[in-house]
Structure 1
Amino acid sequence: MKRRLSVVLALFLVVVMSSLVTSSSGAADRKDSTARPAIRDGQELTVYIDQLNLTGDGSGEIVVDPVQWYTGEEAKAEFAKYEPDAGIDGPPDGYFIVNESELLLPLAVAEDAVVIMQVYDRTGDFADVGIQWNERISLSKLDTLLHHTDIVDVRDFPYHLTIEDGKVTKIVQQYIP
């Protein structure tokens, strides 16, 4: 019983900390827009993943919410523009995410797409959740993680996608403190 209570309390703390991280990132308010971003080959697009739909051959479609990801001086400038009354000089964690659109964008995914993760539920035990930098996983493993959100919801992290020949060829999870 004590172990179950400690797991529940730990999960509660993760949820509370997650909400603090989200608000401290300075995610700007969305503005309704239906404009689709122009996608170019070789482009890196920063997104939140909404869903992944794989076909039997391992390829498929990823549905994403494009965002702007800022760091350094650029993050400070965007933070000042979007959060002028915040009472601080810049984003607390050194990055700033702007999401001005409700747009969900479907993109084709190459069957051999590379997926790189930083943090996710590897064992089903909260105590085992930790950062393992640049860990390569399969596309099907990412699909599984997107559906199992009990301990870590990987949809809460931004991802950097690389687009080549009209398909997503690389998906890299961005760690956020």
Structure 2
Amino acid sequence: MRKWVAGAIVAAACLTTAAFALAGGREYMPVRQTPDMKTGFIERVAAEDGRYVLTIDEIKWYEGEEAAKIFRERESDSGLDAPPDGYYIVNDDSALTELPIAADAQVVMQIYDKTGDITEAETAWDEPVSLETFVQQIKADNGLHLDDFPYHLAVKDGQIVKIVQQFIP
């Protein structure tokens, strides 16, 4: 499961930035799930017919007590009562989903490479970026693999209208 290994790597990479961000006065706030939301890992972003299309591997994202409940059901032999980082991912279906992105889609990031020096990347809560910046960052091979983060996608009329990068505690 590539996503589990990647999640551990991303979590380790975020530990120093998380400490800095939490010291900045804002605590982590879970993304509010809505019925029109899909959550997943980005497998591919491509320009097609004058717009971008995301291919995602959909997951179920759980946090807090809900994560602990699902964790106990699925990992009863782990010796733990809850997932170590407070979240749990279920990915029972390997099918991929393709969705077009609206030209005016909002994109909200938590961490990405702003300067070209990955060592300077730090968490900035709910930072809006342009769709072009998002696409460039997803495709970048700079050490911070943004496709290792889950994303929450608000879908309206069959297209993505908002993309929110999930912070990995």
Measured against the shorter chain, the TM-score band is 0.7 to 0.9
Contact 2:11–2:168 (CA<8 Å) still a contact in 1?
no
Partner SS for 1:64: strand
Q: Please state whether the residue corresponding to 1:122 is helix, strand or coil.
A: coil
The aligned length equals 144
Aligned partner of 2:104 among 103, 112, 127 = 112
Identity of aligned residues (%): 38
Q: What is the rounded CA distance, in whole Å, between the counterparts of 1:175 and 1:92 in structure 2?
A: 15
Which residue among 153, 158, 165 is the counterpart of 2:157? 165
Quick one: structure 1 residues 107 and 144, their matched pair in 2 at CA, closer, same or farther if it must change by over 3 Å? Answer: same
The unaligned stretches of length 5 or more in structure 1 are: 1-14, 22-40
Q: What is the CA RMSD across the aligned residues, in angstroms?
A: 2.3
Map residues 106-145 of structure 1 onto 2, 5 A cutoff: 106-145=98-137
Segments of structure 2 that go 5 or more residues without pairing to the other structure are 1-5, 13-33
Q: Kindly tell me: are residues 163 and 91 of structure 1, through their superposed partners in 2, closer, same or farther at Cα, counting changes over 3 Å? A: same
Pick aligned residue for 2:53 from 61, 68, 73: 61
CA–CA separation in structure 2 for the residues paired with 1:170 and 1:143? 14
Aligned to 1:46: 39
Contact 2:10/2:168 (CA < 8 Å) preserved in 1?
no
1:84 corresponds to: 76
The AA in structure 2 aligned to 1:46 is: T
What are the Cα deviations for residues 69-125 of structure 1, in whole angstroms up to 9, with x where unaligned?
Answer: 111221111101111111111011111011111111101111111110000111121
Shift of 1:141: 1.2
Residue type matched to 2:37 in 1? E
Partner of 1:95 in structure 2? 87
Runs of 4+ with >4 A deviation:
none
Q: What SS is found at the alignment partner of 2:62?
A: strand
Give the conservation status (yes or no) of the 8 Å contact 1:48–1:67: yes
Where 2:57 maps in the other structure, the secondary structure is strand
Q: Distance in 2 between matches of 1:19 and 1:114?
A: 24
> How far apart, CA to CA, are the structure 2 residues paired with 1:43 and 1:122?
30
The 1:136–1:19 alpha-carbon spacing in structure 2 relative to 1, beyond 3 Å, is closer
TM-score, scaled to structure 2: 0.77
Distance in 2 of aligned mates of 1:127 and 1:45 = 31
